[in-house]
């Protein structure tokens, strides 16, 4: 909230991060080339070369910290999540740095020293961020950096806001009281009712507050205008809680603007952001090419055995519904008899499905039949990680039966997904599957994709995914 202070606070954070990264590099250089810990006679690398290296490291790390959300408001994220993002940003950072040095053939830089730098910078940044959090919390508990507020409206909206503020002291807010036209002067859940809106001018003169939070229903637009006018006359900032905030879905609302007209997107989807979308697509293309090259021998053997074990085509294709409700052909190695696997056929595939061939049962159990879908990823129909696509018949059926089912079509479908690694695959609860899909869509991060990707291998080897 307090966006006016956030830019300054971020500037301070950037300065601290610059100091941490620089100090970590100098410390690593000292440990490797000066201290007695590495008594191997290597003392040829001068400090100037590593100082020059900061010209690459500092902008690289700042961009990564920004991408991983390390400059978002502290008040809105847990410290554990911040630590996780710090570790992951440092892993990506050191990997990019070493790749760049290798590409530029700068082999004279010490790998031991870079390893020490990675560990030191990660640990020091976690300590830095933890210390800042602790200092801010202690300051607020002692009354420093506190913003005193009055809430106009003691109804459900105002009470919800007051409860949030009271439940988290590190937010740095103190509710002086309510102003409401329908409650007598008394306490409301321990918070005093200071008076009515017509007394707003006298209340602001009596109580020194930093902000006024307006929590009135939209039908009270006349009173809202009057309160804003009085607050501006008194020089007090106002903020309005929209009466329709309960319509906002998920954990975060996305605020946009069209030529000065504010717009609120009722469901924030991280992959709607161009940068996130571009990064995910680039990773999909690179990984798909690498995987197709690596598994090409397996695919060749599979194609031969599919052809030898049963008559018919090697590749089985079927229409599925993808992003934006557009239909596309999905590709698999054929695992059923030709007289059973009719394109567009309706019916779930079960574990002991009699339509499967013996070799087909094996490739389905090991998910080898899914390998051609990496070609779907290259085409842009699918992503490596995302909600699994369904056939048009089921989409039409579930659209009417399951609320919010169609939300899954806001992103590209995936070869694997959060629902599948949680065990909701095939003939299982479609309600649970959609819950997982929506959770993935709303909470997407690059880390989430990597987590699902590696959990897929565990699912394949442990339960015949």
What pLDDT, in 10s, does the model give residues 172-186?
Answer: 788 899 998 887 766
Helices (H), 142-199: 156-167
- Distance, CA of 16 to CA of 25 (rounded, Å): 14
Strand 315-321 versus strand 147-152 pairing type:
unpaired
- Distance, CA of 96 to CA of 90 (rounded, Å): 10
Question: CA of 55: how far to CAs of 29, 49, 59, 60, in Å?
Answer: 16, 11, 7, 9
- Distance, CA of 96 to CA of 281 (rounded, Å): 19
Given a contact cutoff of 8 angstroms between Cβ atoms, the answer to whether 332 and 370 are in contact is yes
Strand partners for 212: 150, 238
pLDDT attached to residue 298: 92
Q: What is the pLDDT along the chain (465 residues), one digit of tens a residue?
A: 344 455 667 778 888 999 999 999 889 888 877 777 766 555 555 677 778 888 888 888 888 888 887 877 655 466 778 888 899 889 998 888 888 877 776 656 777 888 889 999 999 999 998 888 788 777 766 666 677 899 998 888 888 888 888 876 666 788 899 998 887 766 667 788 988 888 888 888 888 888 899 888 877 778 888 888 888 887 788 888 877 666 665 555 566 665 566 666 667 788 887 788 888 999 999 999 999 999 999 999 999 998 888 888 889 899 999 988 889 999 999 888 776 544 445 555 555 566 778 888 888 888 888 999 999 999 999 999 999 999 998 888 888 888 788 888 889 999 999 988 888 776 677 888 998 998 999 889 888 999 999 888 877 666 544
pLDDT attached to residue 1: 39
pLDDT attached to residue 145: 66
How many alpha carbons fall within 13 Å on the CB side of residue 187?
3
pLDDT attached to residue 222: 82
pLDDT attached to residue 183: 76
Question: CA torsion, points 70, 71, 76, 81, in degrees to nearest 10?
Answer: 0
pLDDT attached to residue 465: 44
Q: Which candidate, 448, 439, 427, 309, places its Cα nearest to that of 384?
A: 448
- Distance, CA of 46 to CA of 43 (rounded, Å): 8
Q: Which candidate, 324, 424, 420, 328, places its Cα nearest to that of 377?
A: 328
What pLDDT, in 10s, does the model give residues 121-167?
Answer: 999 999 998 888 788 777 766 666 677 899 998 888 888 888 888 87
Q: Which candidate, 253, 248, 246, 245, places its Cα nearest to that of 269?
A: 253
- Distance, CA of 270 to CA of 276 (rounded, Å): 7
How many alpha carbons fall within 13 Å on the CB side of residue 426?
12
- Distance, CA of 248 to CA of 244 (rounded, Å): 8
* Residue 390 falls in which region: left (phi positive, over 0), alpha (psi -120 to 50) or beta: beta
Domains of the chain from N-terminus onward: 3-141 (no CATH), 147-247 (3.40.50.720), 274-463 (no CATH)
């Amino acid at each position: 909230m307090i966006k006016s202070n956030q830019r300054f606070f971020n500037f301070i954070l950037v300065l601290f991060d610059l100091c941490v990264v620089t100090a970590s590099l100098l410390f690593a250089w000292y440990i490797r080339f000066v201290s007695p810990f590495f008594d191997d006679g290597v003392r040829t690398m001068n400090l100037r070369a590593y100082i020059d290296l900061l010209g690459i490291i500092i902008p690289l790390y700042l961009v990564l910290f920004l991408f991983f959300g390390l400059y978002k408001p502290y008040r809105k994220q847990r410290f554990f999540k911040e630590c996780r993002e710090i570790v992951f940003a440092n892993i990506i950072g050191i990997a990019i740095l070493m790749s760049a040095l290798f590409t530029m053939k700068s082999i004279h830089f010490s790998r031991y020293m870079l390893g020490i730098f990675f560990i030191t910078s990660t640990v020091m940044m976690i300590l830095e961020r933890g210390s800042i959090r602790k200092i801010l919390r202690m300051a607020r508990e002692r009354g420093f950096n506190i913003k005193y507020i009055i809430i106009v409206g003691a109804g459900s909206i105002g009470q919800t806001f007051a409860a949030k503020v009271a439940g988290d002291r590190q937010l740095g807010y103190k509710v002086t009281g309510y102003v409401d036209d329908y409650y007598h002067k008394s306490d409301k859940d321990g918070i005093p009712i200071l008076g009515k809106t017509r007394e707003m001018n006298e209340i602001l003169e009596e109580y020194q507050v930093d902000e006024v939070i307006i929590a009135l229903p939209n039908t009270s637009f006349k009173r809202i205008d009057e309160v804003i006018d009085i607050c501006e006359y008194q020089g007090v900032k106002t903020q309005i809680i929209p009466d329709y905030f309960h319509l906002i879905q998920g954990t975060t609302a996305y605020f946009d603007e069209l030529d000065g007209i504010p717009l609120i997107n009722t469901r924030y989807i991280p992959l709607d952001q161009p940068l996130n979308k571009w990064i995910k697509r680039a990773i999909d293309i690179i990984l798909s090419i690498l995987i197709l090259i690596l598994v090409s021998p397996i695919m060749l053997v599979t194609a031969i055995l599919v052809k030898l074990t049963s008559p018919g085509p090697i590749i089985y294709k079927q229409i599925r519904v993808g992003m934006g409700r557009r239909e596309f052909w999905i590709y698999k190695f054929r695992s059923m008899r030709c007289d059973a696997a009719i394109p567009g056929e309706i019916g779930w595939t079960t574990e002991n499905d009699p339509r499967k061939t013996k070799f087909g049962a094996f490739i389905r159990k090991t998910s080898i039949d899914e390998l051609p879908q990496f070609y779907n990823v290259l085409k842009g129909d699918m992503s490596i990680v995302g909600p699994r696509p369904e056939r048009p018949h089921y989409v039409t059926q579930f659209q009417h039966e399951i609320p919010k089912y169609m939300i899954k079509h806001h992103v590209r479908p995936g070869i694997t997904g959060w629902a599948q690694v949680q065990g909701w695959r095939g003939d299982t609860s479609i309600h649970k599957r959609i819950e997982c899909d929506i959770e993935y869509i709303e909470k997407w991060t690059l880390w989430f994709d990597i987590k699902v990707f590696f959990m897929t291998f565990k699912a394949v080897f442990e339960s015949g995914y």
